[in-house]
Amino acid sequence: MEKFITQDLQQTILIVDDMPENLMVLGELLQPAYRVRATVSGMQALRIAVSDPKPDLILLDVMMPELDGYAVFARLREDARTRDIPVIFVTALDTALNEQYGLELGAVDYITKPLQPLIVLARIHTQLELKRARDWLRDQNAFLETEIARRMAENQLIQDISIHALARLAETRDPETGNHLCRTQEYVRTLAMALQDHPRFAAFLTDRNIQLLAKSAPLHDIGKVGIPDHILLKPGPLNPEEWAIMKTHARLGSEAIEQAERDAKEPVEFLALAKEIAHYHHEKWNGSGYPEGLAGDAIPISARLMALADVFDALINRRVYKPPMPYAEARDIIAVERGRHFDPDVVGAFLDGFEQFCAIAKRYSDSDEALQAKLTTARGQADG
């Protein structure tokens, strides 16, 4: 028995037997190697099993009054706090059927009386080693899951920061947009969520795609980095030649994102939507938009949402060529464009959620002073 006495004294064994003399025999056998807790009652065993120190193993007598071993075992398995504690049945019932029944219930072993000390110690040792291995594996899995979640969150953060960094690059060329990126991102998210159960949009507007849409939205005007300053910063209407150049920002943006897709070693989900948004967000429902002149449902849903979000934000905020417009007036203009510039159902979602749009606009509003300072800086850099 000496080799079993070297076990970890921190391991706890609960002995349950209605005969005190049996508890004494098992206690004397186990105490040199383990912390022992004991009871003659099945109900008391259930209370001990959830108290500290929790048992690492339970030796459970089958034949007990009131609550027998099988009933105690069933309750242990019903409780999340105790269902993983291994149980060895200890009984005078030594038929094969009894042993089979106990093992089928989920006991890890079955020891018959009269007890043989070396066999008892060997079986306890084996089950405790198995439990130690299971606990270690569980802890390792929990650590790995936590580490994976941490790294995924870190990668997600890096990706989001990179997206905004690229979008801000375009914004430095068009300084009056200010918090335009944040506002339009939230407008798109709001529209998508409002239309998620709509028959025309439900198949596309899954939770995952809504997340990707919101992530992609800030890149809608990335192509403006390719527009000359004298056009981008012109404090007045553009002439036809300038307007033709300005419109190329949609194509420039989609081409830049497409190049990023080709450079990526693996597909990046949000880039496909970002490319769609950048390329098509100036298309109009009636086919009079650019760059492709698409109409109706031929325009990707992502671009239809972005189109309304972009126009609403442009109307209510100051630009180099115009003052800001009151929210209600912008709402009325968009309502008039229902079925012409915008998808009718997208306009419906906008009108129903108009108060949300106003709240987003206020939350991410720009001060006139900040906008003027950015504009002055950008023009100075352009002149230099």
Per-residue pLDDT, 3? 46
Whole-prediction pTM value? 0.60
pLDDT in tens, 279-298: 999 999 999 999 999 999 99
Find all residues with CB under 8 Å of 261, minimum gap 6, and list them: 267, 268, 271, 272, 275
- In sequence order, which ranges of 217-268 are alpha helices (DSSP H)? 229-232, 240-246, 248-263
List the beta bridge partners of residue 195.
none
Most confident of 41-50, 122-131, 294-303: 294-303
pLDDT in tens, 66-112: 888 899 999 999 999 999 899 999 887 766 677 677 778 888 888 88
Which residue spans of the chain are classified as CATH 3.40.50.2300? 2-143
| Residue among 69, 111, 74, 65 nearest 92 (CA) | 111
Q: Is the pLDDT of residue 275 over 90?
A: yes
Rounded Cα distance between 13 and 35, Å, is 6
Q: Is the pLDDT of residue 380 over 80?
A: no
Three-state DSSP at 39 gives strand
Q: What percent of the chain has pLDDT over 70?
A: 85
Which residue spans of the chain are classified as CATH 1.10.3210.10? 174-383
| Residue among 298, 330, 291, 329 nearest 313 (CA) | 330
| Residue among 231, 255, 254 nearest 243 (CA) | 231
| Residue among 55, 60, 65, 50 nearest 34 (CA) | 55
* Two structure tokens written together for 297: 């449902």
Contact 196, 210 (CB under 8 A): yes
* Two structure tokens written together for 232: 């981008």
Contact 115, 96 (CB under 8 A): no
Q: What is the DSSP letter of 199?
A: T
Tell me the fold of 2-143: Rossmann fold (3.40.50)
Over residues 179-188, mean pLDDT: 91
Least confident interval from 149-158, 183-192, 223-232, 320-329: 149-158
The DSSP result for 127-162, as a single string, is HHHHHHHHHHHHHHHHHHHHHHHHHHHHHHHHHHHH
Per-residue pLDDT, 233? 80
Superfamily of domain 174-383: Hypothetical protein af1432 (1.10.3210.10)
Over residues 25-50, mean pLDDT: 91
Q: Is the pLDDT of residue 377 over 80?
A: no
φ, ψ at 51 (rounded to 5°): -105, 165
